[in-house]
């Protein structure tokens, strides 16, 4: 009997030793869905994915300085440039999801913005609008400024606009009812108050930043399982639920 007990204990120690941690550095824009997927992954087995979120550039820098890291999530543009420059070493890139710019509304019913003319009428009808200050380098703010100039609405919109510090401030203004329409990333809308979501800009005004995954140790079974979880239907739904748009066909 004693021998059996020792054998079982020894087997248990082997199982524990077999568990592994895999490092993932990622842009903060994908934080919530990736946290959710990593938590599910850990619950399904003994391996874990250790998460480190930062700006897209800082996450890439940390990954490149850490030869033990298995995963990097940053923008597709950054990954392609780093790959071309030979900065990533052997690995594989997978497209994941886009952060998409669009509109939130504090009023009901929500305005229609399916077409450019719908968007024009929604902007004219709104009594107040907030968007991130382009002078602060806001990507969505710069895009929206170009949009209203192109539509010939710059004077009318700016006369009733509030320049917000960032997307978080924009959503605070929407949630408080201080403005009718807020222009920001849809992921920020969903995370602040999904009930205010109107949708993305239509047609040629669609603005997105595409995130991609770099896998360094794809030959390891545990790494392959996490990659499968990220790209599964349940994983893609985690991105959708946070206002990101999965890349078609990935």
What is the model's pTM?
Answer: 0.74
Identify the segments of the chain with pLDDT beneath 50.
1-17
Which residues neighbour 134 within 8 Å (Cβ) at sequence distance 6 or greater? Answer: 141, 142, 144, 145
Which structural domains are found in the chain, ordered by start?
A: 20-98+210-246 (3.40.190.10), 99-205 (3.40.190.10)
pLDDT at position 140: 92
- How far is residue 144's CA from residue 146's CA, in Å, rounded to a whole number? 5
- Return the closest-CA partner of residue 101 out of 136, 146, 59, 53: 146
Residues in the chain: 250
Say if CB 82 and CB 60 are below 8 A apart: yes
**Confidence at residue 18, expressed as pLDDT on a 0 to 100 scale:** 53
Give the model's pLDDT for residue 38: 96
Token pair, residue 111, equals 């305005």
pLDDT score, position 250:
62
User: Hey, what's the torsion of the CAs at 33, 244, 199, 143, to 10 degrees?
Assistant: 130
Tokens at 51, concatenated? 């998460």
Which two tokens mark 226?
Answer: 């996490």
What's the CA dihedral at 146, 148, 151, 153 to 10 degrees? -150
For residues 160-194, one letter each, b for 16 or more C-beta atoms within 10 angstroms of the residue's C-beta and e for the rest, the string is ebebbebbebbbbbbbeeebbbbbbbbbbbbbbee
Q: What is the pLDDT of residue 29?
A: 84
């Amino acid at each position: 009997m004693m021998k059996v007990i020792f054998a079982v204990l020894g087997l248990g120690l082997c199982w524990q030793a077999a568990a592994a941690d895999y490092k993932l550095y990622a842009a903060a824009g994908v934080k919530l869905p990736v946290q959710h997927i990593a938590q599910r992954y850990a619950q399904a087995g003994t391996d874990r994915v250790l998460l480190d979120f930062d700006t897209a550039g800082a996450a890439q820098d940390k990954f490149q300085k850490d030869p033990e890291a298995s995963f990097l999530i940053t923008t597709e543009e950054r990954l392609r440039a780093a790959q071309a420059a030979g900065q990533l070493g052997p690995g594989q890139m997978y497209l994941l999801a886009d952060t998409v710019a669009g509109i939130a509304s504090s009023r009901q019913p929500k305005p229609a913005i399916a077409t450019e003319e719908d968007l024009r009428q929604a902007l004219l009808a709104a009594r107040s609008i907030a968007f991130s200050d382009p002078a602060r380098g806001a990507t969505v703010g710069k895009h929206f400024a170009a949009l209203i100039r192109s539509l010939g609405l710059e004077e009318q919109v700016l006369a009733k606009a509030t320049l917000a510090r960032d997307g978080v401030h924009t959503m605070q203004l929407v949630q408080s009812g201080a403005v009718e329409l807020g222009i920001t990333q849809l992921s920020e809308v969903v995370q602040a108050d999904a009930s205010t979501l109107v949708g993305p800009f239509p047609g040629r005004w669609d603005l997105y930043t595409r995130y991609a995954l770099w896998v360094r140790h794809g030959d390891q079974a545990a790494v392959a399982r996490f990659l499968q979880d990220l790209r599964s239907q349940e994983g893609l739904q985690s991105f959708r639920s946070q206002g990101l748009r999965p890349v078609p066909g990935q």
